[in-house]
């Protein structure tokens, strides 16, 4: 732990005292170095990881909240939406996914549309769940009641609070999780937005760049400090897609394939700004907007990203507003919409909603389902590795399954790891739970059962999104 941030810690503690509470113990976050970041290329020699990384952009209207579930089911929540719903939308989303603990709660900055549910989230998991592991905060305070309530909750439940800066590490297991901003010396006269925490997640060949409300000053710092290391498969648009964010130079360095914008459909601030959408369009960035797509879940196996959304809305940046609005409290399902390869020149094919089975050709027809074991002995949720399906290559040549996917009727998706091939006559067992992948056993790394005991549909798609195998069991 470093001891160079005493002044900022005193300021945070002082606010709590003014709010009528005692002192909070704050410490500096664990540190790394910028040299630890990947080399910036999405095609370099990076080993395929075990399991999957899921990043959920929750539709909270004019606000931001992102749930991250790592390959060992550790969780991170970055922001919690606007103060006006007191965390209701975020908590509903977490409960629906059986999230029992928040291991890392990240406050990008103190604005009320980012910390609106913090008090409720901390209270819920400390009283009815398995707690909050630690909170990460940039240390610039606010005079709002929302911020005071958030700090009061930290003190009430004795949650560790880390003041966080560039170079720090958040120890999400199985994921390279680096804090890129704010720097030790705050930017832009301590402006809260420009000093938002910026998190970069690295998982296999994929990466996610998640800023808060940073605009020109924050993006200039990132470009100058990290250069090509900013390279990211997915970028969340800064400041809800405001005109001063997602600048040309920043996008040229980051080179995202996917962008996600979190804002209200009828945002009083005009988010997302047309100039931002133009910049995404010029770079052919597939763009999702929570206001029209609803909740957006991106799941990476390290070599491809599976995209699930509530609505099948336009993803061409300049056509985003052609989609119909969806309310934050919608309980619509989230089918798989697309599979996006991380590297190489492969194109992305959108998966049509409810698409019919396509007759496979050539070696694709060699894949078959040889067994379905949907009812594990005992409690399915405990014995997840004894819930599985077995796939077999009945053809005469090896079958490369890189980027192929398996989904159920509800839209849960698994993507085969890069380089995985099934020899002629070979079988592979896809277990629902977690484990170490091998040539004969793969692991979905789901925290709950996938295959319904009363019947379900198994859908296999190739790396271009075409359905090559679809089988229903009763």
Among residues 248, 235, 241, 198, the alpha carbon closest in space to that of 218 is found at 198
pLDDT on residue 364: 39
pLDDT on residue 154: 97
Note whether 119 and 150 are within 8 A (CB). yes
pLDDT on residue 454: 86
The model's pTM is: 0.72
Q: How far apart are the C-alpha atoms of 138 and 119, rounded to whole Å?
A: 17
pLDDT on residue 371: 85
pLDDT on residue 268: 80
Q: How far apart are the C-alpha atoms of 299 and 415, rounded to whole Å?
A: 8
Q: How far is CA 411 from the centre of its chain?
A: 17
Report the number of secondary-structure helices (H) and strands (E) in the chain.
8, 27
Half-sphere exposure of 324 (CA within 13 A, CB side): 4
Among residues 388, 394, 389, 468, the alpha carbon closest in space to that of 426 is found at 394
Phi, psi angle pair for 147, to nearest 5°: -70, -40
> Count of residues for the chain?
474
pLDDT on residue 338: 83
Among residues 471, 467, 472, the alpha carbon closest in space to that of 361 is found at 467
For residue 318, give the 3-state DSSP assignment: helix
Mean pLDDT, the chain cut into blocks of 10 residues (474 residues total): 29 33 51 54 51 94 94 96 92 96 97 94 98 97 95 97 96 96 95 95 94 93 94 92 91 94 87 92 93 95 88 92 93 87 48 38 60 85 90 84 88 88 89 92 91 89 81 80
**Domain architecture of the chain: domains with CATH:** 6-32+47-350 (3.60.15.10), 362-473 (2.60.40.1260)
């Amino acid at each position: 732990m470093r001891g160079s941030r005493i002044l900022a810690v005193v300021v945070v503690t002082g606010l709590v005292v003014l709010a009528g509470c005692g002192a909070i113990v704050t410490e500096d976050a664990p540190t790394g170095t910028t040299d630890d970041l990947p080399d910036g290329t999405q095609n370099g020699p990076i080993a395929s990881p075990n399991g999957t990384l899921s990043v959920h952009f929750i539709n909270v209207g004019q606000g931001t909240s992102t749930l991250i579930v790592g390959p060992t089911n550790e969780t991170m929540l970055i922001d919690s939406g606007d103060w006006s719903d007191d965390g209701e939308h975020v908590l509903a989303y977490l409960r629906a996914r059986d999230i029992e603990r928040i291991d890392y709660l990240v406050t990008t900055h103190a604005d009320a549309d980012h910390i609106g549910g913090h008090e409720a989230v901390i209270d819920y998991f400390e009283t009815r769940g398995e707690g909050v592991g630690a909170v990460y905060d940039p240390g610039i305070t606010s005079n709002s009641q929302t911020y005071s309530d958030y700090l009061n909750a930290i003190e009430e439940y004795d949650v560790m609070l880390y003041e966080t800066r560039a170079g720090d590490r958040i120890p999400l297991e199985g994921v390279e999780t680096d804090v890129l901003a704010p720097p030790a010396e705050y930017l832009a006269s301590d402006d809260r937005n420009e000093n938002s925490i910026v998190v970069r997640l690295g998982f296999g060949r994929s990466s996610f760049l998640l800023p808060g409300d940073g605009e020109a000053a924050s993006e200039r710092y990132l470009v100058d400090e990290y250069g090509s290391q900013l390279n990211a498969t997915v970028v969340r648009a800064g400041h809800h897609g405001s005109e001063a964010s997602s600048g040309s130079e920043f996008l040229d360095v980051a080179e995202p394939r996917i962008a996600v914008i979190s804002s209200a459909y009828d945002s009083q601030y005009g988010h997302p700004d047309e100039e931002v959408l133009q910049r995404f369009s010029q770079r052919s960035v597939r763009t999702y907007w929570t206001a029209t797509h609803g909740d957006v879940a991106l799941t990476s196996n390290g070599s491809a990203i599976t995209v699930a959304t509530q609505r099948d809305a336009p993803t061409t940046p300049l056509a985003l507003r052609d989609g119909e609005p969806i309310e934050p409290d919608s309980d619509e399902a989230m089918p798989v919409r697309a599979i996006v390869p991380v590297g190489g020149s492969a194109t992305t094919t959108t998966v049509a909603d409810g698409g019919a089975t396509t007759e496979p050709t050539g070696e694709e027809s060699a894949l078959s389902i040889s067994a379905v074991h949907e009812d594990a002995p005992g409690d399915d949720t405990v014995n997840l590795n004894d819930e599985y399906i077995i796939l077999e290559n009945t053809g005469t040549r090896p079958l490369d399954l890189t980027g192929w996917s398996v989904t159920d009727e509800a839209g849960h998706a698994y993507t085969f790891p890069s380089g995985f091939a099934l020899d002629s006559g070979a079988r592979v067992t896809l277990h629902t739970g977690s484990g170490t992948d091998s040539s004969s056993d793969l692991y979905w790394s789901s925290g709950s059962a996938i295959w319904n005991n009363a019947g379900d549909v198994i859908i296999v798609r190739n790396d271009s999104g075409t359905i090559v195998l679809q089988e229903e069991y009763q």
